[in-house]
Amino acid sequence: MTACGLKTVLAFGVTMCLAGTVHAWPERFEGHGGPVKSIALSADGSSALSSSFDYSAIVWQVGKDSAAVGQRLIGHEGPLNDGVLVGKDMAATVSDDGSVALWNLATGEMLDRVDEGEEKMIRVAASADGRFVASASWDRNAYVYGLAGNRLGRHAVLSGHRGPVNAVAFLPDGKRLITASYDGVIRLFDADSGELQREAYSHGWGVNVLAVLPDGDRVVFGAADGEAGVISLARGEIVKILPKHERPVLSVALSSDLSALAIGDGAGVIRFYSVDGFALEEEFQNPYGPVWGLAISPDNKTVFYAGLDDSVKSWQVTPRAPFEPVENDFPRRFQVSETADPGELQFARKCSVCHTLTPDGANRAGPTLYGVFGRKVGSLPGYPYSNALRTADFVWSEKTISDLFDYGPDVVTPGSKMPLQRLRTEADRDALIAFLKRATAPGPDRRSSQERNEVVK
Ligand code: HEC
């Protein structure tokens, strides 16, 4: 990517860059071992937070042209769904494991974690004054936590939703917040008492995402039916309908100066608007599938998007960069050809998002399965197993791995953090195991996971 945004033409057609006109943002943030669910940038763009399916979040140091891994936040027991920066030195994340966690950005230490139960926590927000963190849960509640020192104190439960809660956002005053639910309603709550003030708007279809505009009245929403628009909380009605998406709206981001807006959907479409008048300025098609996370650079010229791929990528909105990223490195593990061996297909579809087959685990959520046959359960050095696996006492063999997927991890290794999966037919299990026996055998020709991915293509 060229850093030359503004050119001036000198005599005889010689062009020259006007120095310092465009800050070049990194093209990608590389470091996760699984799909990325959300991305957030600090107000000055110098740091970022990404939350991934690989059970971790990463704090990034964002420099000119490059993004370096600052800290890995490890400690959730399931895929992460969202993360938010809290003040200058903390972050909060939520996970499928039903918990919200608070982290120290500089050290990567988990400061506190509150478990609310079995259901996924899907979204997290912080009030601008840094007093509160709130989370949206599929248990039909949202939760407000007071930040006292380095702890999350349960402050209020926002109840009354008739479906899972998909989104939560504070109003600028930090005293009120809104939720969006699968039941189609956007509700307004008092942050201190947790009381429902009113059902501000009913869309009919599930509402997935919310963003509050600086006037504290207008709210951008996106819904499961592809509808996106702006409502007025005071008037309880739509004040602006945005172009409809063909697939569910999955993500929304406002720039730090609140003047630009990006909306992403399940088919990979990202639309970029100026908040003033909501004119559609640019549209982008992520060739790699759904857009789960979005963030806008402080200069409003670059959009960062997260999805199925392991890396967060950037789209340069202005000056408009060539549309299609040139090299296709869409996670190759999802693209195994239909003619591949049936066991390899099972692995690609059901396991590879969390496990590699090579000596390095590539930061995926599960341990590498390299050399798994004959290995004692829960014994790979350096991998943070659950207690259940660490203390279990058997050895992985054709039989025990087959049992794992015949009866399910919840039966064979109760308490394991591996999500429930079963391969129901014996043929599927046999094919997977035959493949695993070949592919996990330690040997001199094992390649790094990256090279391996290239071969799997
Ligand atoms: C969503 C992530 C995820 C998926 C998908 C997944 N696993 Fe796992 N797996 C894990 C995690 C996390 C652990 C560690 C569990 C623990 O510590 O309790 C694990 C542990 C294991 C272990 C035990 C390894 C050891 O060192 O003791 C085996 C074997 C295993 N997985 C095989 C598979 C196979 C085969 C598949 C596909 C059919 C699969 N897993 C799919 C996340 C996953």
Q: 435 C-alpha to center of ligand 1: Å?
A: 16
Single out the residue of 48, 94, 5 nearest to residue 296, CA to CA: 48
Instruction: Give the nearest ligand 1 atom to 388 CA.
Output: 18
242 and 359 share a domain?
no
**Which secondary-structure segment (H or E) carries 454?**
helix 449-456
Which residue has a Cα nearest atom 36 of ligand 1? 351
* Model confidence band, residue 380 (pLDDT cutoffs 50, 70, 90): very high
* Model confidence band, residue 419 (pLDDT cutoffs 50, 70, 90): confident
DSSP per-residue codes, 326-381: SS--S-GGG---TTS-HHHHHHHHHTTTT--SSSS-TT-SSPP-TT-TTPBTT--T
Mean pLDDT of 305-318: 92
Instruction: Give the nearest ligand 1 atom to 405 CA.
Output: 38
Mean pLDDT of 21-26: 67
Q: 106 C-alpha to center of ligand 1: Å?
A: 30
pLDDT of residue 225: 97
- CATH number, domain of 92, equals 2.130.10.10
Residue 250 near residue 290 (C-beta atoms within 8 A): yes
Residue 6 lies in a domain: no
Residue 14 lies in a domain: no
262 and 362 share a domain?
no
Q: Is the peptide bond before 444 cis (omega within 30 degrees of 0)?
A: no
Residue 103 near residue 110 (C-beta atoms within 8 A): yes
- CATH number, domain of 344, equals 1.10.760.10
163 and 252 share a domain?
yes
Euclidean distance between the first and the last CA atom of the chain, given in angstroms as a whole number: 27
Residue 16 lies in a domain: no
* DSSP symbol at 195: -
Residue 13 lies in a domain: no
Residue with tokens 């139960």: 117
352 and 445 share a domain?
yes
Tokens of 393: 């006492």
Mutate to test the pocket of ligand 1, among 375, 407, 418, 423 (most ligand atoms within 8 A of CB): 418
Q: 183 C-alpha to center of ligand 1: Å?
A: 34
With a CB cutoff of 8 Å and minimum separation 6, the contacts of 112 are 101, 102, 150, 151, 152
**Which secondary-structure segment (H or E) carries 403?**
helix 398-407
Q: Where among 266, 286, 316 does a domain terminate?
A: 316
Instruction: Give the nearest ligand 1 atom to 379 CA.
Output: 26
Q: 367 C-alpha to center of ligand 1: Å?
A: 7
Radius of gyration for the chain, computed over Cα atoms and rounded to the nearest angstrom: 23
Please determine, for residue 321, whether its predicted confidence score (pLDDT) is greater than 60: yes
Q: Where among 291, 316, 341 does a domain terminate?
A: 316
310 and 356 share a domain?
no
Please determine, for residue 99, whether its predicted confidence score (pLDDT) is greater than 60: yes
pLDDT of residue 416: 85
236 and 351 share a domain?
no
Mutate to test the pocket of ligand 1, among 74, 354, 406, 435 (most ligand atoms within 8 A of CB): 354
pLDDT tens track for 162-175: 999 999 999 999 99
Query: For the CA atoms of 107, 112, 116, 117, what is the dihedral angle to 10 degrees?
Result: 60
Instruction: Give the nearest ligand 1 atom to 401 CA.
Output: 29
Instruction: Give the nearest ligand 1 atom to 351 CA.
Output: 37
Instruction: Give the nearest ligand 1 atom to 396 CA.
Output: 29
Count up the domains in the chain and report the number. Answer: 2
124 and 260 share a domain?
yes
249 and 337 share a domain?
no
105 and 175 share a domain?
yes
Residue 135 near residue 38 (C-beta atoms within 8 A): no
Residue 2 lies in a domain: no
For residue 136, give its domain range: 26-316
Q: 439 C-alpha to center of ligand 1: Å?
A: 16
Please determine, for residue 315, whether its predicted confidence score (pLDDT) is greater than 50: yes
175 and 48 share a domain?
yes
Residue 324 lies in a domain: no
Question: The pTM is what?
Answer: 0.79
Can you tell me the distance from the alpha carbon of 302 to that of 169, in angstroms, rounded to the nearest whole number? 23
Tokens of 260: 């630009």
Q: Where among 262, 289, 316 does a domain terminate?
A: 316
DSSP lists the bridge partners of residue 186 as: 180, 201
378 and 269 share a domain?
no
* Residues with a CB atom less than 6 Å from ligand 1: 350-351, 353-355, 365-367, 369, 372, 377-378, 380, 385-386, 388-389, 396, 401, 405, 416-419, 421
Mutate to test the pocket of ligand 1, among 54, 355, 380, 402 (most ligand atoms within 8 A of CB): 355
Q: 347 C-alpha to center of ligand 1: Å?
A: 11
Q: 355 C-alpha to center of ligand 1: Å?
A: 7
Residue 233 lies in a domain: yes
Residue 312 lies in a domain: yes
pLDDT of residue 36: 95
Pick the more confident residue, 433 or 411: 433
340 and 311 share a domain?
no
Q: 80 C-alpha to center of ligand 1: Å?
A: 17
pLDDT tens track for 329-348: 444 444 445 546 888 888 88
Mean pLDDT of 345-355: 82
Spell out where 56-164 has E strands. Answer: 56-62, 67-74, 80-86, 90-95, 99-104, 110-115, 121-126, 132-137, 142-148, 151-158
Tokens of 178: 């809104």
Which residue has a Cα nearest atom 17 of ligand 1? 385
Single out the residue of 188, 219, 223 nearest to residue 206, CA to CA: 223
pLDDT tens track for 28-42: 999 888 899 999 999
Can you tell me the distance from the alpha carbon of 169 to that of 127, in angstroms, rounded to the nearest whole number? 8
Q: 421 C-alpha to center of ligand 1: Å?
A: 9
